[in-house]
Amino acid sequence: MRAAEAGDLVELRLDCLDDPALLSSGQLAAVIGKLEQPVIVTFRAADQGGQGAANFASRRQFWANHSEVLKNELMDLELEMAQELVNNPGTSIDWDRVICSHHDFTGAPCDLDQIYEHMTSTPARILKIAIKAGDTTDCIPVFHLLERARDEGREIIAIAMGSAGVSTRILGPSCGAYLTYGALDSEHSTAPGQITARELRDLYRIDQITSQTLITGLVGLPVGHSISPQIQNTAFAAAGVDAVYIPFEAHDLTAFMKRMVHPRTRELNWNLRGLSVTAPHKTAVIDCLDWIDPPAKEIGAVNTIVVQDDRLCGYNTDAAAILKPVTERLGSLRDVRCAIIGAGGAASAALWSLKHERADATLFVRNQGKGSALAEKFGAGCERLEGAHFKGFDVVINTTPLGTLGSFEHETAASAAQLGGARLAYDLVYNPSETLFLRQAREAGCDRIAGMTMLVLQGVEQFRLWTGIDAPMAVMREAADRALNP
């Protein structure tokens, strides 16, 4: 019954039962009768994402036996089953209640239009096509399919599964999709990349998205750990801005920028306003832009893109945000000894800011060749991270992704032994709120700063760049805290 509280329709996945064939018509009718929302009844084959091992014959018999009790419900029949039942005159099916579905869990097929045309040969009123997205650009043919079906007057559900396909789940209804699917909760998704029904409604506000809604989002690899959607979407809602913020998982950044972002080359007709850029794309994205703000150009890294007419403009909001929590703690940083761990875009922003604060900065890296060039650019020292000790440093800043929720969660840029004698340890990683680096710093007796404050501060400036109005900072802080400490 929890599903009925979150969705407009409820899907009964009978293939998740041990033996759906034992379910009598009376039992099925009783379950459906308890739901106020319309019901989609699904009994899917294993190769189409079904959870059970029921064979084709048993599933065909199920539909034949229960067609009468299901006459008022939507029925999800995979294409092969729909074709079988069309040719079986002994089965009474109301095809206006049928969703004819096709799932491809191996990737994005190149013959998507042909599959669609094949499905239109059935009498099913609603078509459903779900493919596996390996990169966010795999969403393009899905959006094109939605556009084609809308132009042809066909009702369709088109979804790109997987973390790279989230945008199709969020934007699908505004592009003409009959519906989108949401999980009951994070532990009960029925397809890769499925987010919860409550997130779709409360966080992404899919009921309010239209063709006029400003599209913003986060491009990176990975992006699933990010709490920026919680921060920015909550801010949009509080400020009354018609905008949505979506995660975009991009392996091939150049293809994403060309095919989905740049106004002169993109293949989607959408109201894209801007993007946040995170690892590992902050430096590489520069080659895709038309104009770069001077500080971002000096830093050599962009974390914010604004679409202005037919141009892409790049900014770096990290630089101003990185040191604010430190100066609030220590005051002036002039001649303060600062150690920066890492040599990526965040390290560049930190070094640029420290140079302007006239701090005494040293870069600690695993690849000293790469690090030396970066350190020299900003007049900083450069040391090997391996075997380094931070005794005597006023601030140690981790700019690497080590400690981030996921595969890096149990790693740290420095141990307690290395951090002993340092005054303040600052981790730019914000999820989880207490990283292994910060736990090691606590063990070493250091003061500590977590990355959430910096994340919110840089997001405040991004909000202003995209909307032209001041961001509701207090709201954004509260949203970040709720996301990290549910």
The pLDDT assigned to 1 comes to 45
Band (pLDDT 50/70/90 cuts) for residue 54 is confident
User: Is residue 2 predicted with pLDDT exceeding 60?
Assistant: no
User: For domain 320-450, is the CATH number 3.40.50.720?
Assistant: yes
What percentage of the chain reaches a pLDDT higher than 70? 95
Residue pair 171/246 in contact (Cβ under 8 Å)? The answer is yes
Domain 217-316+456-484 matches domain 320-450 at the CATH topology level: yes
pLDDT in tens, 345-380: 999 999 999 999 999 999 999 988 889 999 999 999
pLDDT in tens, 217-247: 999 999 988 999 999 999 999 999 999 999 9
What residue spans define the domains of the chain? 2-209, 217-316+456-484, 320-450
When the candidates are 3.30.470.30, 3.40.50.10860, 3.50.30.30, 2.60.40.60, the CATH number that belongs to 217-316+456-484 is 3.40.50.10860
- List b or e across 223-256, with b for residues whose CB sees 16 or more CB atoms inside 10 angstroms: bebbbbbbbbbbbbbeeebebbbbbbbbeebeeb
Residue pair 483/231 in contact (Cβ under 8 Å)? The answer is yes
> Of 186-190, 287-291, 429-433, where does mean pLDDT reach its minimum?
186-190
Q: For residue 396, give every residue at least 6 positions away whose Cβ sits within 8 Å of its Cβ, in sequence order, or none.
A: 338, 339, 341, 390, 414, 419, 422, 424, 425, 426, 441, 446
The pLDDT assigned to 21 comes to 58
> Of 73-77, 259-263, 468-472, where does mean pLDDT reach its minimum?
73-77
Q: Which CATH class is domain 2-209?
A: alpha beta
What residue type is assigned to position 98 of the chain?
Answer: V
Taking the CB of residue 181, how many other CB atoms lie within 10 A of it? 22
The residue-averaged pLDDT of 386-394 equals: 96
The pLDDT assigned to 50 comes to 80
Q: What is the mean pLDDT of the chain?
A: 92
The residue-averaged pLDDT of 303-308 equals: 97
Residue pair 317/276 in contact (Cβ under 8 Å)? The answer is no
Is 282 a catalytic site residue? yes
The one catalytic residue in 34, 258, 282, 297 is: 282
Closest C-alpha to 133, from 75, 173, 172? 172
Q: How far apart are CA 405 and CA 223, in angstroms?
A: 11
pTM of the model: 0.91
pLDDT in tens, 152-211: 999 999 999 999 999 999 999 999 999 999 988 776 666 777 899 999 999 999 999 999
Say what the alpha-carbon torsion angle 399, 404, 407, 411 is, to the nearest 10 degrees: 60
